[in-house]
Structure 1
């Protein structure tokens, strides 16, 4: 829900509900997850710097939970307390700042269990002037301990192993592409992203539009996140994957399919009325 105060300030309201749910992490393989709104990752929350945010959190799960937002806000809105018990609710309210790519996740102990079980999502704060129109994608790197032995057996972006290998992401050759890349992987110290047959600009945490580095591989610890921008010069299949070979072989692998012309309804860059590029 979006409203505007008389002084012009935008107020955005969301409801996030903690739910226990079995999710499919590979064909026929299910994981007993703890979720926000029944999905892993949770819904992407997107706003503009300076917006007033109100997030109503309802705990309909079987364990105590919270929501901790990365970024700047009052300590009482930080999400390590109060602990929200099953059947209870709490409203987080704060101003969105700074602009950049952030995340949210449960901060209840044992922390590694609550994050690994699926309680995390992406939190995008756009700069007031917006960003250049682009083919936009949110990619959350995650993994799953499917046999509960303390090690991950399945790796993915956005939960489903090999999904983008079997369903390549279509992009326009020469079009600007933007990835909001977040690492939430538990039990492994690092994860990574590698692009074949191209290079990308890395805007670290997305908080500076005037500083970047050019590379084809980026390494992230848990909670680290960056905005990646690139243009694929040549039509064809461009692989992307973790550059830990084990992760790639266990599901963290996909393709961009660069085509000569991409229709607007297939994700071609457009500028909407809010000044943001189109995204999926």
Structure 2
């Protein structure tokens, strides 16, 4: 049994979604025995940064911030030791849509790449996407042939320098940070340092089972692997 630290009882935490310019109000209540915060990788006032405003056990804090800039951004606890708080599960994503929206996708999903340090020695024992190693290998993601798939991809991996995302038998458009409506490249593999993120878009022209995984052999063999099951 691994004792994760969570926002709202889940890892990753809830995905917040807004349109650029919206006012976000997030009521944070700390029901744990440790101080925690929420730090958003967005533009916001200093007193909403979640660094110098620790929320004590039993305490509450109201985060108010304008949704900007558009894109996909991480949030996480910013209490020291920071690596421990993040690696145990205190992270999530916020999606800010541009005012005019993006082209309609047939299927959207959030993927947060991370690791699992189960013996708390500051080294990862397993690797994952959305916290559970091998989950999408054992529970393939079903998509339709020729459907536009959009993935909001974030890297919150601790204790390793970088992570990556690779799909088999296909290429994707990649939008770093999601802050542009034009892709920066057409590729089958992208690397991200911690807290980097982007939007991945692709269509599969052929049905079948296609692997996706982190393109570092160790990461894939220790849990960061999955399957797209493409159906007619």
> How does the TM-score come out when normalised to structure 2?
0.97
Larger gyration radius, structure 1 or structure 2: 1
Give me the whole-angstrom Cα distance separating, in 2, the residues matched to 1:257 and 1:188.
30
- Is 1:238 the counterpart of 2:210 in the alignment? yes
1:139-154 to 2 correspondences below 5 Å: 139-154=111-126
Structure 1 residue 50: deviation in Å? 0.8
Structure 2 equivalent of residue 188 of structure 1: 160
Structure 1 residue 150: deviation in Å? 1.9
Give me the whole-angstrom Cα distance separating, in 2, the residues matched to 1:196 and 1:130.
29
Q: Unaligned regions of 5+ residues in structure 2, if any?
A: none
Q: Which has the higher contact order (CA 8 A, sep 6+)?
A: 2
Structure 2 equivalent of residue 269 of structure 1: none
> How does the TM-score come out when normalised to structure 1?
0.81
- Is 1:173 the counterpart of 2:145 in the alignment? yes
Structure 1 equivalent of residue 197 of structure 2: 225
- Is 1:68 the counterpart of 2:39 in the alignment? yes
Structure 2 equivalent of residue 256 of structure 1: 228
Q: What is the CA deviation profile of residues 35-60 of structure 1, one whole-angstrom value per residue up to 9, with x for unaligned ones?
A: 10111110111111111110111111
Q: Which ranges of 4 or more aligned residues in structure 1 deviate by more than 2 Å?
A: none
- Is 1:54 the counterpart of 2:25 in the alignment? yes
Structure 2 equivalent of residue 208 of structure 1: 180
Structure 1 equivalent of residue 89 of structure 2: 118
Q: Unaligned regions of 5+ residues in structure 1, if any?
A: 1-29, 261-280
Q: 2:2 aligns with which of 16, 31, 43?
A: 31
Query: Contact between 1:150 and 1:187, CA under 8 Å: does it hold in 2?
Result: yes
The RMSD of aligned alpha carbons is: 0.9
Q: What is the CA deviation profile of residues 112-167 of structure 1, one whole-angstrom value per residue up to 9, with x for unaligned ones?
A: 11111111001100111111121101001111111222211111111111111111
Structure 1 residue 237: deviation in Å? 0.9
Query: Contact between 1:176 and 1:230, CA under 8 Å: does it hold in 2?
Result: yes
Structure 1 residue 210: deviation in Å? 2.0
Q: What is the CA deviation profile of residues 206-228 of structure 1, one whole-angstrom value per residue up to 9, with x for unaligned ones?
A: 00002420110111111010100
